[in-house]
Amino acid sequence: MNSYSEGKIQAFQKQNDNRARFLIKCPDQPGIVAAVSKFLYEHNANIVASDQFTMNPEGGEFFIRIEFECPDLKGQVDKLETTFLPIAEKFNMEWKIMYVRDIKNMAIFVSNEPHCLLELLWEWQSGDLMANIALVISNHETAREMVESLGIPFYYIPANKEIRHQVEEKQKQLLEQYEVDLIVLARYMQILTPDFVGHYENRIINIHHSFLPAFIGAKPYERAYQRGVKMIGATSHYVTNDLDEGPIIEQNIGRVDHRDNGDDMKKIGQSIERSVLARAVKWHLEDRILVYKNKTIVF
């Protein structure tokens, strides 16, 4: 890690030493917000941001994200989590408290096209992507120099469908060694097995070079060109075992016309891919995403 990035992370941790985030989903009913607010007040916590959403006020699913400051937060962790249990049980909540100073460890998987990787590295170098990029794993050597020049470990693991299980065993060993919290597929052009995906549920973010659900699968820009589309896009989503059909986090589009051939569309599309993936990763790192069935609530 370079000194500039390390300094940014240290400053962020110091600034957020007493800050945490509550993420809650449960069946909607009266009293949820009042109960959580009262709980935080009783622990001398100050709410600094709060977002909520209900699918349906008549028994639909309710979602809330609360960011709060609490004096001596480190010393109160066990107390907070233990004393909240009765409230969680009363409202049938799925919940977690995320401590902001605990920077997430991130692994990036990449193949032969490094544009999304380079965007993430730039965001990280500038201090705008607040994570520890623990390692980069690739089935090509293309990105080694650009990764290792920043002091980030790079692992080359050749991969294809015939050796997929052996490859994933090596990958999982590295992910456990580096205590990885989030995996980002920055144009990693290999299909993951159900076992691997299940092990990291809602912790693998992919960028798809198409505005899903259009042009699912390979070569979307070529097919978009053949179809004569007037706009193209990119989609970032959590990975599930249904190929390219996981919960969508972020999308964006760009205009094209009859003058743009397949290569032009690819160039425009790669620019969209970079920004869409970076936003999705940041939102995950900031604990802004709640998954419900095959959808996301992004606060």
Question: Catalytic site residues?
Answer: 244
The one-character DSSP state at 56 is -
Residues with Cβ within 8 Å of 156's Cβ and at least 6 positions away in sequence, in order, are: 138, 139, 140, 141, 144
Residues with Cβ within 8 Å of 51's Cβ and at least 6 positions away in sequence, in order, are: 64, 65, 66, 299
Q: Backbone phi, then psi, for 69, in 5-degree steps?
A: -105, 140
Q: Backbone phi, then psi, for 31, in 5-degree steps?
A: 100, -5
**Residue 77 and residue 229: Cα distance in Å, rounded?**
53
Q: 152-156, long-range: CB within 8 Å, 24+ apart, which pairs? A: 152/1, 153/178
**Residue 82 and residue 183: Cα distance in Å, rounded?**
30
Output the CA torsion sign for 206, 211, 212, 215. Answer: negative
Helical residues (DSSP H) of 152-260, grouped into ranges: 164-177, 194-199, 220-227
DSSP helix/strand/coil, 288: coil
